[in-house]
Structures are given as C-alpha cells and as structure tokens.
Amino acid sequence: MKQKSLKKGCAIFLALYLVLAAVFFWIGGDQFSFQDMRTDMLTGAGVLEEITAGVTVRQQIPLQGDELTGLTLYGATYGRQNTGALVLELYDGDRLLGSRTVDVSTLADNATFDVAFGGVDISGLSRAELQITAPEAAPGNAVTLYFGNAYSASRNQVSANLKEDELVRVNGTALDGGLCLQVHTRQPLWFGQFYWWLAGAGFVLLAGYCLLLLRKNRAGKHSALLNVLVAFSRYKYLMKQLVARDFKTKYKRSVLGVLWSFLNPLLTMSVQYIVFSTLFRSDIPNFALYLLTGIVCFNFFSEAASMSLTSIVGNASLITKVYVPKYIYPLTRVMSSTVNFLLALIPLLAVMLITRTPFRPSLFLLPLGVLCLFTLALGMGLLLASAMVFFRDTQFLWGVVNMLWMYATPIFYPESIIPAQFLPLYKCNPLYHIIRFIRIVLMDGVSPEPKAYALMLIASLVPLVIGTLVFKKTQDRFVLNI
Amino acid sequence: MIIEAKEVSMCYRMTYDRVQSLKEYLVQMVKGKIKYREFWALKDVSFQVRKGEVLGIVGHNGAGKSTLLKVISGILKPTGGEVAVNGTVVPMLELGSGFDFDLTGRENIFLNGAILGYSEEFLKEKYDEIVAFSELGQFIDVPLRNYSSGMVMRLAFSVATVVNPDILIVDEILAVGDADFQAKSKARMLELMGGGTTVLFVSHSLDQIREMCDRVLWLDHGQVKMLGETKTVCDGYEKG
C-alpha cells in the first residue's frame, strides 16, 4: 500500500476519533456521569386520613447512592381544589437533611406528583425518615396520600412483606402498609469522571498504532490490519456484486418488489399489535414502537443467520471451482440482510413520527447498536455456515433454536414478566442487550448507562470471535465435505 | 519461477459411507464403524513453471490432474508440501457455474466477472467486447432463464475468456455452440494460450498438447511419471 495514502488514512481516522469522542460525550451527557436509581412504588390500596394541621405522617425510606434528587408520591384531593402547602422534611435521626414544600393547589386527584429535591447529600446513609405535615390545613381543605402493601407485577400482586419499622405512621400509629412513593437517587459514575482521560488514553494508543503501521509499511512488512485492508479493497467489487445479486433476486418477479422490505415488518407489527394490545393486555408505554423495534431487530438477526447458514453449502459449485476467501460468502449474506434492515428502519422512523416520539440526539447512537447487531449476526452466521458443512442437521436444528430464541427475547412482552430467579440466565441472551440498547436510544431518547455499552459490546464481540475461530479452523476442510 | 510446487501431496480420507447427519454419525461411532480409507490423489509432486511457459498435464482418468489444478488455484489446501504462486490465477470455470438465472445477461457479466476476480474498471472496459463476442445483441437485457442453452454457453465463454491473467488454467479446450461459434471459440482459446501468459493445460488430446505446450507433466496415480520436453513425454505416454 502506498505510504502517502496510508498517512492520509491514519490522519482522517484519528481526526474522526476525536470528533466521535466529543459527540459521544455530548450525547451521553448525564448518563455517563451519574447513575439514576428509582425504587419501585407500592400499589395504592387505600388513603391515609386527611392531612390537616396536627397530623404528622412519618415513614422510613430506603436510600442508595450518594444524592437524593427527588420523590414521587401518590396523592388524592377528595375531588376538590385545596389550598395550602404540604411540608416534606427528611431526617437522619435528629439531623434535618432537607425539606421541601408542595403547593397543594397544583395537585390532581388520584395522581402521582414529583417533588424535586435538587441534590441532598445522602452518602453513607441507608435510610432516612420522611416526615410530612400540613401546618395550615383545616378539615375540608386538605389532601391525603395513598399507601399500600403490595407491588403489582404484570397482572399479579406481590406482597411487599414490609417490616415493622417500614410501615407508615400517622401521629405515631402504624398503618398496615407503606406510603406509595418512589425515591429518586443518583450515584456518580467513574466512567463520566474519567471520560476525557479514557478518551485521551485511547487516542494515544491509536496514534501509537498508526505510527507503528506506517513504519511497518515503509519497511515493507505485512501486518494484520494492512492485510485485511488489502483483501477488502481487492474483494470489494465481488462483495458489491454478490450483495446486489441477493438484493435483486430476492424481490424479482414480485409485483411490489422492494416495497416488501417496508411492508413485511409493518404487517407483522400490525398483527402482533392487534393480538397483544387486545387479546393479551400489555402495559408497555408506546407499545407499537416497542414491538416494531423488537421485530425489526430480530428479523434482521434471524434472516442474516439463516441466510449465512446455507451460504457455504449453497455456493458449493463456486467454492469447488474458483478460489475466493470463503468468509466472503457468509459476510455478503449478512451484508444483504443489512440492506434490508436499513430499509426496514424507514417504517420504524415513520412509526416514531406517528407516535410522536421525540427525535433526540441519542438517535446518533443507533448506528452503534446496528453495528453490534451486525457483528452478532456475522458471528452466528460464520458458526452456522461451518456447522452446516459438516452436519446437514444444523438447518433443522436452527429452525427450532431460532424459534426458541425469538421467545427468549423481549420482542412483544416486557422483560418484567420474567421471574427474578431466571433473570441471570435470561440476560445471557446477547440479543437482549442489543435490543435493549436500541430501545433506550429510540424510545427514551437518552444514552444508556455505561454498563449497557460494555454488555452490548461483549454480547456482540464474543460470538464473533467464537464464530471466526471455528470458521477459520474448519474452512480448509469445507471443499472436501460439500 | 511463477509456480513452484514442492512435494505436494493430497490425501482424501474417505469413509465407506459418507456420514452427513449427526444421528448417523453418533450411531456409527457407537458401533465403532467409522473407518477411513486413505486415498492419495497426489503424492510428492514437485515441478516448476517459468513465466510465459505453457505446461501440458497428461494422465489417465483419476491420475490427479484436476486435484493438482485445484491445489494450484488455492481451492484445495494440500495435505503436505507447498505451492508458491506469484501472480493472479484465473481458472476456466465449468462454463456458467457462477450464473444466476434470474438476472439479465448484463448483470451476469458483471457478477461472473467479479467471481473470476476481474476488477470493475476492467469489466466496464471490456463489456462491449464481451457482448460482441457472445453475439447476444438485444438479448443481453433479458433474464438468463429465457436464454437457450447455447446462448448461456456463449455468454459464459465470452466472460471467461476476456481475461488477461498472469496464470491461466485450462481444463480441456472448450468449444461451445454451433459450428461457427465452435471455430471462433477454439481460435480464441488458442489465441489466449499463445499470447505470452503462463498456461497450465490439461487435455486428453495429445495432438493439442503437442501443438501448444513447451513442456509436459505426466501424472500417474498421483505421482510424477515423467516431466520434460513435449515430444519425449508425449511419445512415452502414447507407448505406456
């Protein structure tokens, strides 16, 4: 390779890295620096008495993290417009940690309301006592709060098993349950604090590697990356032709042609939307988008893996007659599925528009999710393609595994219905992490927490490494078995 | 030396019944019935080819000619020994094996060309030449499934022979189509082989070998029986 073009490539690459690092930090925002935590809210079973002057409500609340950012409470106004204020005070023993007053005229009946605490330092505390009073309220002009003793899990109620000191007390008398409240806390993450150090270290490493590469190239030595680049530029045209072939023949002789790439996921979504939003009620917010994201991602994975499965066996006539690196065949199959997937993203964006999901900068993270999905599909495809050569049973086995995989992935159901004891096993599914990432990016409009990135990268790279190793080890024997 | 083969050996392990499913495999393994028979298709074959040379390869059926060609073009990895090839190898495919019958002739020219390792620029430059040689004319934009078999063969031949490789591998001289096209395609092959590229030429026609080759390699049961001047080897082969 020419030294000059390599130099140019390295410079562009490093500049791109810097730009991406900055964009990434901008999109990541608070998610990189803080981990936000919310406790679960009890389901409201009944209300306390009217909170008037002289009534004191006390409740121990659990704390985690370093900072209390707010509370969510579930209140009732007796259907009237009240005046006055609720005073919320937080104590650690006798020490006042923070207090807030809530104007009760802003409260709606039977609705949750948020109280922002704006950063109360709670480091080292595992619990605190919340005290609620209404010094100016008179009977007939006061509000109350809900309490309960169970959590709702999909359609069931799970008893909260509250201990004696976790019950809500009104003027010292314990009631059968705790206040319906959610505690918002946050914890600083080392990732955000050291982000620029990490990015800088990455830059130094990359720059060092570029220098090494340039020196090696000048000396005329081969290096792994350069070999890959040379092979890529050599077989670029072949890959382009094979992808174009797959794409052209897929819809050839069908009337709607390429429109099917849009229609297919949309129709599947419509059917499942009707089934799951009427027959089986589901309380997922923005279910249409939730469903479509799952369908589009899983379809891509499943199509890419199934097409790669037959890529070696199906091209037997070519493999036995002309030398082409064998990984080209599964790779191009995954690439043509990617083209389909990118087309299927268009209806996805349309559904985002229709459901008024805001377009946030986090959308720029979507390519990262897609890349990981691609990597996972390629790894699986390489593995299946080589297994298929030696055992034709693979295709039938894959049909079953594929179906099992679909049900093991939260496509049309919320992950909350999985029993807690199975969760560790459930999270071994690499697709789970990638789909979760894509959903957070699209639906919540924020960047996922740093841990989600790490899990997603592991979930996509480990299968690729395994697939590549198996493929590499067996590829010389393909010719003898097809 | 453009091709250098050193003690190339190729061994096929053959089970008596080819086991192709996991169940069968397990059953056979439990029964202890998986036996392999070794078959050496090539054994210690060494030779060198100089640039621009036309090397003929002769031998009876099953002597290892095709296996040797596959090893040289990189399709098979030899069990032992090594082959060093310095240049691009273009194999004369069985005609049309890279074709997709749902695509048009035009699309197939580029697809098949890419499989044979031609570059985009090369194909674009030679496109008109290919179409002209194939005599397909207006049919070039029709899907291949509507072609007659002769038309497919003509197109395949035209794509396969526009090459300009360092090493050309020819497994029998192909003559396809009607009498006119056969004459034309034979002339094209001879032109290609005489054009200064290195050619490995396998044929059962000793007349063609005598006519074309500088040297001849005689393979017998996977081993080199004789390697040398065309006349000497051909005479020996005819006697033996």
- Is there a contact between B75 and A319 if contact means CB atoms under 8 Å apart? yes
- Classify the C-alpha dihedral B108-B111-B112-B114 as positive or negative: positive
Give the span between the Cα atoms of A50 and A139, in whole angstroms.
7
Strands A178-179 and A144-148: antiparallel
Nearest to A238 among B23, B107, B114 (CB): B114
DSSP β-bridge partners for residue B84: B4
Residue A187 has pLDDT above 90, yes or no: no
Neighbours of A36 (CB within 10 A): 15
Euclidean distance between the first and the last CA atom of chain A, given in angstroms as a whole number: 36
Nearest to B75 among A248, A321, A392 (CB): A321
DSSP string, A303-324: HHHHHHHTHHHHTHHHHTTS--
- Is there a contact between B114 and A479 if contact means CB atoms under 8 Å apart? no
pLDDT of residue A153: 63
Give the span between the Cα atoms of A311 and A272, in whole angstroms.
31
Residues of B in contact with A479 (CB under 8 A): 70, 75-76
Q: How far is A2 from chain B (nearest CA, A)?
A: 19
Q: Is residue B180 part of a domain?
A: no
Mutate to test the interface with A, among B22, B25, B95, B170 (most CBs of A within 10 A): B22
Each domain of chain A, given as residue ranges in start order, spans 1-33+189-221, 39-188, 237-481
DSSP β-bridge partners for residue B54: B199
Q: Is residue B195 part of a domain?
A: no
Q: What is the second-level CATH architecture of the domain A39-188? A: Sandwich (2.60)
Nearest to B103 among A240, A248, A393 (CB): A248
Domain CATH for B35: 3.40.50.300
- Is there a contact between A321 and B100 if contact means CB atoms under 8 Å apart? no
Token pair for B130:
């290919």
**Residues spanned by the domain of B16:** 3-88+200-239
Q: The pTM is what?
A: 0.82
Give yes or no: residues B79 and B49 share one domain.
yes
Report pLDDT digits (tens) over A45-65.
Answer: 888 888 888 888 888 888 888
Residue A309 has pLDDT above 90, yes or no: yes
pLDDT of residue A45: 83
Outline where DSSP puts E strands in chain B. 3-15, 36-49, 54-58, 80-85, 89-91, 167-171, 198-202, 215-220, 223-229
Q: Find, among B29, B74, B240, the residue nearest to B167 by Cα.
A: B74
Neighbours of A420 (CB within 10 A): 8
Give yes or no: residues B116 and B159 share one domain.
yes
Nearest to A241 among B89, B102, B110 (CB): B110
Give yes or no: residues B25 and B51 share one domain.
yes
Least confident of A154-158, A321-325, B25-29, B150-154: A154-158
Give the pLDDT mean for A408-421: 86
Strands A181-188 and A34-38: antiparallel
CB A264 within 8 A of CB A320: no
Residues of B in contact with A248 (CB under 8 A): 102-103, 107
Give the span between the Cα atoms of B168 and A91, in whole angstroms.
88
Q: Is residue B188 part of a domain?
A: no
Nearest to A323 among B75, B114, B119 (CB): B75
Token pair for B87:
């240049």
Residue of B nearest to A248 (CA): B103
Residue of A nearest to B26 (CA): A391
- Is there a contact between A241 and B97 if contact means CB atoms under 8 Å apart? no
Nearest to B77 among A237, A324, A476 (CB): A476
CB B63 within 8 A of CB B224: no
Give the span between the Cα atoms of A306 and A334, in whole angstroms.
9
User: What is the number of structural domains in chain B?
Assistant: 2
- Rounded to the nearest 10°, the torsion over CA A18, A23, A25, A31 is -150
| Local confidence band at B34 (pLDDT 50, 70, 90 cut-offs) | low
CB B209 within 8 A of CB B178: no
Give the pLDDT mean for A225-248: 87
Residues A373-391 as b or e (16 or more Cβ within 10 Å = b):
bbbbbbbbbbbbbbbbbbb
Q: How far is A313 from chain B (nearest CA, A)?
A: 13
- Is there a contact between A393 and B22 if contact means CB atoms under 8 Å apart? yes
Note whether B170 contacts A: Cβ–Cβ < 8 A. Answer: no
Give the span between the Cα atoms of A328 and A16, in whole angstroms.
28
Give yes or no: residues B32 and B58 share one domain.
yes
pLDDT of residue B20: 66
Q: What DSSP state is assigned to residue B197? A: S
Largest CA distance in chain B: 62
Report pLDDT digits (tens) over A135-182.
Answer: 888 888 888 889 888 887 656 677 777 887 888 888 888 888 888 888
- Residues of A near B (CB-CB distance < 8 A)? 237-238, 240-242, 244-245, 248-249, 252-253, 317-324, 391-393, 476, 479-480
pLDDT of residue A155: 60
Q: Find, among B155, B165, B1, the residue nearest to B90 by Cα.
A: B165
Report pLDDT digits (tens) over B110-163.
Answer: 998 888 888 889 999 999 999 998 888 889 999 999 998 888 888 888 888 887
Strands B167-171 and B198-202: parallel
Q: What is the SS3 assignment for A61?
A: strand
How far apart, in Å, are the Cα atoms of A211 and each of A92, A201, A232, B13?
58, 15, 22, 48
- Is there a contact between A322 and B25 if contact means CB atoms under 8 Å apart? no
Note whether B94 contacts A: Cβ–Cβ < 8 A. Answer: yes
DSSP β-bridge partners for residue A89: A99, A131
CB A257 within 8 A of CB A32: no
> At which of B164, B184, B211 does a domain end?
B164
Count A/B contacts: CB-CB distance under 8 Å.
Answer: 71
Identify residue A52 by its one-letter amino acid code: T
Outline where DSSP puts E strands in B101-212. 167-171, 198-202
Give the span between the Cα atoms of A384 and A305, in whole angstroms.
7
Give the span between the Cα atoms of A335 and A106, in whole angstroms.
55
Note whether B135 contacts A: Cβ–Cβ < 8 A. Answer: no
Token pair for A146:
């809900």
pLDDT of residue B93: 59
Q: How far is B21 from chain A (nearest CA, A)?
A: 5
CB A382 within 8 A of CB A327: yes
- Classify the C-alpha dihedral B79-B83-B88-B93 as positive or negative: negative
Report pLDDT digits (tens) over B206-237.
Answer: 888 888 888 999 999 888 888 988 888 888 88
Q: Does ipTM surpass 0.85 in this model?
A: no
Give the span between the Cα atoms of A134 and A86, in whole angstroms.
5
The B36-49 sheet, strands edge to edge = B36-49, B3-15, B80-85
- Is there a contact between A322 and B12 if contact means CB atoms under 8 Å apart? no
The H-or-E segment that residue A354 falls in is: helix A328-354
Give the span between the Cα atoms of B25 and B19, in whole angstroms.
6
DSSP β-bridge partners for residue A34: A188
> At which of B137, B164, B191 does a domain end?
B164
